[in-house]
Amino acid sequence: MPRLHPLALLISLTSAALAAQSSTTIPLNVTTSSSCVFDQANSAPTIDLYPEYKAGSVTSGPQGQVSVSVYCNKNTPISQRTLIGTTSTSTPGAHVTAVLTQFSPGTTDQLNVEAWFVTGPNSPVINGTYRGATRSVTLVNAGWPSAPQFNASSGFYTGSVSLVISF
């Protein structure tokens, strides 16, 4: 028997394998789920309250705000927004209390602030990464309570609230 070159042998085996093939059609099905994602521009939203706060202040209006955008796939409505501090609310415009603690080792001084949210417009996204989605905007506001606070020393204070989007 003549000896075949290894490459010729490989080609021979490959063509023999191709001659003995069959195929089938495999159906692919998917059920999509409702989905929403926070805009990456919101990865570290921060509200900086006006630094002029004094113990006798009685300001209850907004001292700062942040806009939070959420992108939801088509026909996925946002069913609820909840703002959580030491209390929580799902009602736009209703205030929650949040506690700010002085950022200093060994200090326990605290100030109360109020936070609330309002819903902005919903709009379809026509191009870009989220094309086809609906953009929903929530504005989170913070301000000093209407009652003055004399219990805290001067310094830098920090705290947080959580915004939960349900869909």
Instruction: Round the CA-based radius of gyration of the chain to a whole number and report it.
Output: 29
Per residue, the 3-state secondary structure of 112-165, as one string, reads EEEEEEEEEEEEECCCCCCCCCEEEEEEEEEECCCCCCCCCCCCCEECCCEEEE
Q: Which CATH architecture has domain 36-166?
A: Sandwich (2.60)
Amino acid identity of residue 158, one-letter, is T
- pLDDT tens readout for residues 131-144: 999 999 999 999 88
The model's pTM is: 0.75
- pLDDT tens readout for residues 69-84: 999 998 888 999 999 9
